[in-house]
């Protein structure tokens, strides 16, 4: 039977969407501060042809021309509060790179960004190995089964033995590692990498400042040129290790990479732009386009990116990005179908259909209007006050699609927030409620207090400043922050669990905003001590619902 004209149109549209999806790669770089995330981002942009913009990514900490000073707070502190979304085209791919704030601006946003990506590149300082923040971010990626590519950075400096670094991935993270290339020496003796699959050597030549593409020569490992460059003992040792890997190393299996079980490992030096192209090419070859996501409104039934209607979820809200407009941007990750400017969509939180006007693509202060976007893309929606983190927007009848992608994360730092001006109590409350809804902060109330002062809980302390800043600038509500001594929250199942339990000095009982009971501990030691004394008491590292425990 011939297809009806509308069915033909639909098929054509789906094919176009499928073709667009196939080109998309959406990822984030995860690392501990100073491992080289910003430097690598800058070098990746170099390949994407965004050279003139590249410098501006690192410039923020130097006080040169900044492109990410979205908030005054950022300017004052000289750091980036907000996640930047960078989009570039390379080798026929459309690459979306989501920035994960990592220094003092490490916060729940950092984790949430990872719910919006399809892969991650984990940057490790090869002199140091795996560090605390890398572990936490890795854990969030692992929960989602996201493919993880590893870049061992700073080989131009003395590094730990490559086999040790690979062992560490296995032992500390439980991640099988497959070196795609192998370093030839390190520090002053660093001569390049051996590409194990192409069986080629890429020789490293230092360039001043590493500002340009490093010259790359190609030869075989047994080439006299390679032997000459390496000290005889380094050459022999490296050759033996590479041979050993061929025999005993993890076999490369692209499907395991996609399942997040095997990490392809690349060695190099981001600052010298060495090994970056091998990483980028390898990443694009072995990562996958956006995959289906589960629909919580339909028992987790998967929504196919190409075949489904337009749907996406909001993973981040950024307020006051442009002080002249005092507006608010909701970042939407498109998961299925085609997004078009001015389309209407069903909003899961309010149950209303809303017009998605003013969509923007952002490079810090630069905004470019987006006419259409496809799965994998991030769209900034300007000026929709009702949008909150975790909300789904979809072109379906009411409630048809709901993504449940954003978990709650355990706070690691606490502070009481007092209203500094009694005449403005209403504004204070209203502002705090709004920020709570946006997911900027978690709020607790201590049981022992008669006059309830909100106790704020966050993943990183910068979040407190963001709260104070926004209360002041958006609600004219002044506040006073009093640091609290707790650093660990443990949720109880019910109050009844505490029957007959005396709380030690320094440990407090509080309620979260869902009225779930929480115990607050000042130190790891006090938590352990308490647990030892009450082994039968079940303590949860995260709220009972939508929990995500981190190491």
User: Which residues would be at the binding site for ligand G4P (CB under 6 A)?
Assistant: 31, 33-39, 102, 153-154, 156-157, 269-272
Nearer residue to ligand G4P within complex by CB, 37 or 490: 37
Which residue in 350, 480, 479, 481 sits closest to 427, CA to CA?
A: 479
Q: Tell me the longest C-alpha to C-alpha distance in the chain.
A: 81
Neighbouring residues of 177: CB distance < 8 A, sequence distance ≥ 6? 150, 166, 169, 170, 250, 262, 263, 265
Q: Measured between alpha carbons, how far is 520 from 235 in angstroms, rounded to an integer?
A: 55
Question: Between residues 62 and 353, which has the closer beta carbon with respect to ligand G4P?
Answer: 62
Nearer Cβ to ligand G4P (126/335): 126
* Minimum CB distance to ligand G4P smaller for 31 or for 392: 31
Minimum gap (Å) between residue 514 Cβ and ligand G4P: 35
Contacts of 112 (CB under 8 A, 6+ apart): 315, 316, 389, 406, 439
If the CB atoms of residues 105 and 465 are measured against ligand G4P, the closer one turns out to be 105
Output 27 or 475, the one with its CB closest to ligand G4P: 27
Q: In sequence order, what are the residues at sequence separation of 6 or more whose Cβ sits closer than 8 angstroms to the Cβ of residue 257?
A: 147, 149, 263, 264, 286, 287
- Work out how close the CB of 204 gets to ligand G4P at its nearest, in angstroms, rounded to a whole number: 11
Contact 25, 95 (CB under 8 A): yes
Cβ at position 212, least distance to ligand G4P in Å: 15
How far, in whole angstroms, is CA 140 from its chain's centroid? Answer: 9
- Shortest CA distance to 163 belongs to which of 56, 53, 248, 226? 248
Cα separation values, 405 from 211, 351, 410, Å: 39, 18, 16
Of the candidates 166, 156, 173, the one whose C-alpha atom is nearest the C-alpha of residue 242 is 166
- Cβ 474 to ligand G4P, closest distance in Å? 30
CA distance 219 to 203: 8
- The whole-angstrom separation of Cα 454 and Cα 446 is 8
List C-alpha distances in Å: 200 to 220, 253, 280, 410, 418: 5, 20, 17, 46, 63
Q: Of 58 and 344, which has the nearer Cβ to ligand G4P?
A: 58
| Shortest separation between residue 392's beta carbon and ligand G4P, angstroms | 32
Q: How far is the CB of 232 from ligand G4P (least distance, A)?
A: 26
- Single out the residue of 381, 377, 286 nearest to residue 89, CA to CA: 377
Which lies closer to ligand G4P via its Cβ, residue 66 or residue 153?
153
Q: Which is nearer to ligand G4P, 203 or 410 (CB)?
A: 203
Bridge partner residues of 180 (DSSP):
none
- How far apart CA 445 and CA 518 sit, in angstroms, is 10
Q: What SS3 string covers 486-526?
A: CCEEEECCCHHHHCCCCCCCCCEEEEECCCCEEEEECCHHH
CB closer to ligand G4P out of 157 and 445: 157
Residues near 7 by Cβ (< 8 Å), separated by ≥ 6?
none
CB of 274 to ligand G4P, least distance (A): 8
- Choose between 41 and 542: whose C-beta lies nearer to ligand G4P: 41
Contact 155, 206 (CB under 8 A): no
Output the CA torsion sign for 156, 159, 161, 163.
negative
Of 461, 391, 365, 413, nearest to 71 (Cα)? Answer: 365
Nearest CB to ligand G4P, comparing residues 35 and 415: 35
What torsion do the CA atoms of 530, 534, 538, 542 make, to the nearest 10 degrees?
Answer: 0
Query: Which of 85/335 has CB closer to ligand G4P?
Result: 85
> How far apart are CB 153 and ligand G4P at their closest, in Å?
5
C-beta of residue 355 within 8 angstroms of C-beta of residue 347? no
Minimum distance between the CB of residue 267 and ligand G4P, rounded to whole angstroms?
10
């Amino acid at each position: 039977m011939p297809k009806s004209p509308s069915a033909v149109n639909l098929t054509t549209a789906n094919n176009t969407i499928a073709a667009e999806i196939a080109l998309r790669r959406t990822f984030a770089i995860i690392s501990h501060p100073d491992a080289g995330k910003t430097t690598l981002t800058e070098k990746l942009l170099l390949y994407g042809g965004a050279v003139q913009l590249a410098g501006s990514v690192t410039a923020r900490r130097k006080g040169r021309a900044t492109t990410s000073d979205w908030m005054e707070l950022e300017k004052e502190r000289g750091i980036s509060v907000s996640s930047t979304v960078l989009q570039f085209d390379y080798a026929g791919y459309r690459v979306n790179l989501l920035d994960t704030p990592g220094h003092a601006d490490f916060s729940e946003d950092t984790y949430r960004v990872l719910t919006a990506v399809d892969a991650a590149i984990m940057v490790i300082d090869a002199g140091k190995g795996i560090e605390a923040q890398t572990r936490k971010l890795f854990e969030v990626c692992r929960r989602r089964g996201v493919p993880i590519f590893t870049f061992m950075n700073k080989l131009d400096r003395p590094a730990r033995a490559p086999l040790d670094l690979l062992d560490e991935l296995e032992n500390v993270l439980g991640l099988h590692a497959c070196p795609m290339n192998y370093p030839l020496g390190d520090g002053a003796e660093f001569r390049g990498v051996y590409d194990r699959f192409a069986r080629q050597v890429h020789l490293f030549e230092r360039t001043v400042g590493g500002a340009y593409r490093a010259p790359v020569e190609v030869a075989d490992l047994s080439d006299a040129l390679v032997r000459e460059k390496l000290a005889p003992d380094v050459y022999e040792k490296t050759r033996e290790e590479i041979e050993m890997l061929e025999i005993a190393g993890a076999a490369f299996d692209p499907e395991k990479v996609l399942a997040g079980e095997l990490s392809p490992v690349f060695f190099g030096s981001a600052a010298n732009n060495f090994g970056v192209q091998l990483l980028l090419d390898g990443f694009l070859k072995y990562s996958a386009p956006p995959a289906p996501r589960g629909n919580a409104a339909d028992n987790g039934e998967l929504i196919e990116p190409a075949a489904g209607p337009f749907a996406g979820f909001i993973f981040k809200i950024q307020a006051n990005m442009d002080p002249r407009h005092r507006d608010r941007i909701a970042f939407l990750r498109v998961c299925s179908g085609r997004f078009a400017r001015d389309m209407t969509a069903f909003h899961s939180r309010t149950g209303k259909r809303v017009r998605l006007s003013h969509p923007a693509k952002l490079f810090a202060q630069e905004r470019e209007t987006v006419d259409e976007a496809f799965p994998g893309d991030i769209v900034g929606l300007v000026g929709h006050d009702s949008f909150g983190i975790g909300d789904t927007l979809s072109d379906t009848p009411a409630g048809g699609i709901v993504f449940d992608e954003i978990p709650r994360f355990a706070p690691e730092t606490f502070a009481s927030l007092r209203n500094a001006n009694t005449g403005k109590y209403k504004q204070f409350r209203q502002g705090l409620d709004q920020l709570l809804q946006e997911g900027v902060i978690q709020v607790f109330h201590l049981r022992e207090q008669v006059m309830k002062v909100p106790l704020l809980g966050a993943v990183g302390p910068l979040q407190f400043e963001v709260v104070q800043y926004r209360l002041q600038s958006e609600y004219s509500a002044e506040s006073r922050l009093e640091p609290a001594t707790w650093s660990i929250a443990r949720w109880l199942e019910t109050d009844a669990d505490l029957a007959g339990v005396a709380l030690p000095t320094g440990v407090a009982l509080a309620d979260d905003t869902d009225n779930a009971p929480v115990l607050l501990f000042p130190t790891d030691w006090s938590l352990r001590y308490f647990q030892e004394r009450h082994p039968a008491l079940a303590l949860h590292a995260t709220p009972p619902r939508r929990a995500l425990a981190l190491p």
